[in-house]
Amino acid sequence: MSDRLKTFIRQRSAELGFDVCRFASAADAWPAGERLRHFVDEGRHGDMEWMETTLDRRQHPTAMWDEARTAIVLGMNYGPENNPLDQLADRSAGYISVYARGDDYHEVIKGRLKQLAGQIAARNGADIKVFVDTAPLMEKPLAQRAGLGWQGKHTNLLSRTHGNWLFLGTILTAAEIEPDAAETEHCGRCTACLDACPTNAFPAPFQLDARRCLSYLTIEFAGPWPEEFRTLTGSRIYGCDDCLAVCPWNKFAQEAREIRLAPRPAFQSPRLHDLLALDDAAFRALFTKSPVKRIGRDRFLRNVLYAVGNSDDASLIAPTKALLDDPSPLVRSAAVWALSQMTPPDDFAALAKSTTETDPQVLSEWRRA
């Protein structure tokens, strides 16, 4: 029965566009929960308070749902056509990470997971729940246990068949289904991802300090960044792919076949000049159905302005000055920093002298610069 059910699930998952589908016990003990607790105890989750508040439930699948017996772990390939890091050389353009260049994967995957779960429930009758990203479930160790790949030294899951470009989604069921073999680690002596990280975000191999990660800073962190990271971000304005893209296992990666994940031309090397002009309505229109929309126009403009400060593109000075009057203090403070990087010290001092700024946070940025 278990074998026939597995074949049924695999076939349906492939029809729904998943590239991998494997099975793991959701009930066996694992070390991941303790490691997560260590991560949070060290404060490495930064401002992601939801990791703290859901810590107990996150520790193990059964801590969230005590009837869970099997995890059906699915992977969807989002492999890029070329090495995405080549785009970092153009400092007048922003870098949006590969995962965010098409439609929001949460939407793409969640709908399919629900369809698959419905088909499984109709056949099997056992209780079932679907998860992608936002639920308090540790997806990467579950995926390793199911044999989709292994957690590399950069902490992401990579595989011998898809390299580093797999989105994960999970279905938990109360049904007992024969697990597949777990994958073992194949990083060996390689340290390419650790060496490539622009912000030195790995305190040790297999461990990440999210507070130093550009993905966290560009997406999750709400305020002005600590100064040291502003120059290190280069032109990365949403997410970061460096540790994934340098991995030698990408030689086995294939280009994504899911049409909704295909990169939109507007998100490949968007001109910083155009992005500086985005008001709220234009931002929402540009990022319809994109994961970028979630961070909102002000946080996005903050990221764009840090990239402007690193651009050496004098044509961006005038549109940056215009943002000194922006309604958002976050945007104004990032504009001040960008100008401090791009204008000669005397010009900047004259600007600082003439400012009518009253917001204390922005004023402190003028003084710091």
- Contact set for ligand B12, span 18-37 (CB under 6 A): 32, 35-36
Stretch that binds ligand B12, among 81-89, 166-174, 310-318, 347-355 (CB under 6 A): 166-174
| Contact between 154 and ligand B12 per CB under 6 A | yes
21 known member of a binding site: no
Rounded to whole angstroms, the maximal C-alpha distance in the chain is 78
Binding mask 216-255 for ligand B12 (x = CB under 6 A): x---x------------------xxx-xx-----------
Q: Which is nearer to ligand B12, 97 or 269 (CB)?
A: 97
Pick between residue 129 and residue 140 the one whose CB is nearest to ligand B12.
Answer: 140
Q: Which of 41, 90, 104, 133 is catalytic?
A: 133
Phi-psi category of residue 252: left, alpha or beta, with phi > 0 → left and psi -120 to 50 → alpha: alpha
Residue 139 contact partner, candidates ligand SF4, ligand B12, none, CB within 5 to 8 A by sort of partner: ligand B12
168 labeled part of a ligand binding site: yes
Structure tokens, 65: 């749902």
- Other C-beta atoms within 10 Å of 20: how many? 22
Spatial CA neighbour of 84 closest among 219, 301, 256? 256
Residue nearest to ligand B12 (CB): 239
Binding flag, residue 88, ligand SF4 (CB under 6 A): no
Strand partners, 75: 20, 168
**Distance linking the first and last C-alpha atoms of the chain:** 68
In angstroms, the CA 249 to CA 243 distance is: 12
Q: Which stretch binds ligand SF4 (CB under 6 A): 9-17, 108-116, 242-250, 347-355?
A: 242-250
Give the alpha-carbon dihedral of 307, 311, 317, 322, to 10 degrees. Answer: -10
Q: What are phi and psi for residue 242, nearest 5 degrees? A: -55, -50
Please tell me whether residue 130 binds ligand B12 under the rule CB under 6 A. no
213 marked as binding residue? yes
Of positions 190, 262, 351, 363, contacts ligand SF4 by CB under 6 A: 190
* Total site size for ligand SF4, rule CB under 6 A: 25
Picked from ligand SF4, ligand B12, none, the partner binding residue 242 (CB below 5 to 8 A depending on kind) is ligand SF4
Q: Identify residues 243-282 at the interface with ligand SF4 (CB under 6 A).
A: 243, 246-249
Cα 366 to Cα 72: distance, rounded to the nearest angstrom: 53
Residue 310 binds ligand SF4, judged by CB under 6 A: no
Annotated catalytic residue 195:
no
334 binds ligand B12 (CB under 6 A): no
State the Cα–Cα distance between residues 26 and 172, nearest whole angstrom. Answer: 7
- Using CB under 6 A, pick the residue from 59, 155, 290, 320 that binds ligand B12: 155
Binding window for ligand B12 (CB under 6 A); candidates: 7-15, 21-29, 130-138, 302-310: 130-138
Residue 157's φ and ψ, nearest 5 degrees, are -90, 125
The residue within the footprint of ligand SF4, chosen from 242, 298, 326, 365 (CB under 6 A), is 242
Distance CA 39, CA 62 (A): 20
Q: Which residues are annotated as a binding site for cob(II)alamin?
A: 58, 133, 157, 168, 215, 240-241
Binding site for ligand SF4 (CB under 6 A): 152-154, 158, 187, 190-193, 196-199, 201, 208, 213-215, 240, 242-243, 246-249
Q: Which residues are annotated as a binding site?
A: 58, 133, 157, 168, 187, 190, 193, 197, 213, 215, 240-241, 243, 247
Binding site for ligand B12 (CB under 6 A): 32, 35-36, 39, 97, 99, 132-133, 137-141, 151, 154-157, 166-168, 206-208, 210, 213, 215-216, 220, 239-241, 243-244
